[in-house]
């Protein structure tokens, strides 16, 4: 009996400590889409550097590709009393309802990299210039094309990601006039062929094309689509191929498929994110380029914005993005094209990566 009393007394004394720990306040909550893509691990690492430098308490959670987990993460952060939520949405539309929960609690919502659509509950957007990403990809393919009739294979990101539309829009800006004049011939999308004389596409037209050529940002989807496309065409539609791949992970899968096809005797393939594996592919001549998006700048900009808000000021912005309901004030960062020729000056000399992370750099 005495023992039981002692245990109960000890528990009673611990309870306030336990509940205090459970409610430990967090100032800024960060929600990233998944740990399964190197891109978001880069952002996590950069956020950790930025967090180490601030007096505010910050917590990073991952949604692991699930809008339901994303919502639970946001609920957890709301319970911890965050004042600012920095969120890179898994699914732009599904996240609208989730951020509305935060907004109801008076939390400032910053869309990070991917714009959350269909809601008023987004205060700011911190992003790279995503149309410029697509334009850089299109320009790279164009700069390497000669004559007419060059085989063009188009791929896109996930239709649930607003960025997939912006990347495609940028690429289309550059490629469409060169498809219309015969420099390129689209080999893998009847929807894109049907619209190839149209310089500007509506969102619905873009959606029709993206629906056909989407990779869902998934390496396996990219691989099986590329295999199916090469199976569907004759040898005369292969030869030297020009491939618009939407990011590094999908670029590597698609490149592997094209390089193992006997009728493909060369290819140019785009990418973005400067993932370590793709930088190695670029060095080895297996991927032609990647668009470097300096996550150091993005993480810093997002945290600076959060701190400005917590200090009661209005953050500086330099663009606005319409999310179908409101124009969201945005802070936008430029991007840099990386090829074999400038890997060292852009990625190594600036300290983004160490030379020891790669082989074959002289």
User: Which residues would be at the binding site for ligand BGC (CB under 6 A)?
Assistant: 37, 39, 113-114, 157, 161, 163, 217, 247, 272-273, 293
In whole angstroms, the minimum distance from the beta carbon of 161 to ligand BGC comes to: 5
Q: Compute CA 317 distance to the chain's CA centroid, rounded to the nearest angstrom.
A: 20
Read off the DSSP letter of residue 324: S
Q: How far is the CB of 275 from ligand BGC (least distance, A)?
A: 8
Q: Which is nearer to ligand BGC, 29 or 246 (CB)?
A: 246
3-state SS class at 211: helix
Nearer to ligand BGC, 115 or 309 (CB): 115
The angle formed by the CA atoms of residues 337, 343 and 348, to the nearest 5 degrees, is 120
**Would you say 108 or 215 has its CB closer to ligand BGC?**
215
Question: How many beta carbons lie within 10 A of that of residue 155, not counting itself?
Answer: 27
Least gap, CB of 291 to ligand BGC (angstroms) = 9
Q: Indicate the helix (H) or strand (E) that contains 133.
A: helix 130-143
Minimal CB distance residue for ligand BGC: 247
- Residue 99 Cα distances to 43, 294, 299, angstroms: 21, 26, 20
- Least Å distance, CB 129 to ligand BGC, is 11
CB 81 within 8 A of CB 20: no
Considering the complex, what minimum distance in angstroms separates the CB of residue 39 from ligand BGC?
5
Minimal distance in Å, beta carbon 9 to ligand BGC?
52
**CB closer to ligand BGC out of 225 and 238:** 225
Closer to ligand BGC by CB, 123 or 273: give it.
Answer: 273
**By C-beta, is 73 or 151 nearer to ligand BGC?**
73
Separation in Å, CA 301 to CA 33, 253, 306: 19, 32, 9
Calpha distance 66→127 (Å, rounded): 22
Nearest residue to 155 via CA among 199, 218, 91, 202: 218
C-beta of 139 vs 278, nearer to ligand BGC: 278
β-pair partners for 239: 264
Helix (H) or strand (E) holding 154: strand 150-154
CA–CA dist 97, 109 (Å, integer)? 12
Give least dist CB 41 to ligand BGC, A: 11
């Amino acid at each position: 009996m005495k023992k039981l009393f002692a245990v109960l007394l000890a528990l009673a004394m611990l309870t306030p400590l336990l509940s205090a720990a459970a409610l430990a306040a967090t100032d800024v909550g960060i929600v990233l889409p998944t740990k399964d893509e190197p891109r978001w691990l880069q952002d996590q690492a950069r956020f950790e550097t930025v967090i180490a430098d601030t007096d505010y308490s910050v917590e990073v959670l991952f949604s692991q590709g699930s809008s339901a987990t994303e919502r639970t993460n946001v609920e957890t952060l709301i319970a911890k009393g965050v004042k600012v939520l920095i969120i890179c949405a898994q699914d732009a539309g599904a996240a609208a309802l989730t951020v509305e929960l935060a907004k109801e609690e008076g939390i400032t919502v910053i869309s990070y990299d991917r714009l959350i659509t269909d809601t008023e509950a987004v205060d700011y957007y911190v992003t790279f210039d995503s149309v410029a990403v697509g334009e850089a990809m299109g320009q790279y393919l164009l700069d390497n094309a000669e004559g007419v009739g060059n085989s063009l294979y188009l791929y896109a990101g996930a239709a649930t990601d607003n960025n997939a539309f912006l990347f495609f829009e940028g690429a289309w800006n550059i490629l469409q006039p060169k498809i219309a004049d015969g420099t390129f011939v689209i080999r893998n999308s009847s929807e894109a062929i049907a619209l190839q004389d149209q310089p500007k596409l509506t969102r619905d037209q873009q959606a029709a094309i993206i629906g056909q050529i989407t990779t869902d940002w998934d390496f396996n989807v990219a691989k099986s689509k590329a295999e199916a496309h090469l199976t569907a065409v004759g040898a005369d539609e292969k030869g030297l191929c020009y491939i618009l791949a939407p990011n590094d992970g999908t670029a590597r899968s698609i490149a592997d498929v094209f390089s193992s096809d006997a009728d493909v005797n060369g290819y140019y393939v785009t990418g973005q994110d400067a993932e370590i594996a793709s930088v190695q592919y670029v060095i080895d001549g297996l991927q032609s380029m990647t668009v470097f998006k300096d996550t150091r700048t993005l993480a810093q900009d997002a945290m600076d914005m959060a701190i400005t808000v917590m200090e009661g000021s209005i953050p500086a912005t330099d663009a606005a993005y319409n999310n179908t309901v409101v124009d969201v004030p945005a802070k936008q960062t430029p991007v840099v094209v990386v090829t074999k020729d400038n890997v060292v000056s852009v990625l190594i000399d600036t300290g983004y990566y160490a030379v020891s992370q790669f082989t074959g750099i002289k």
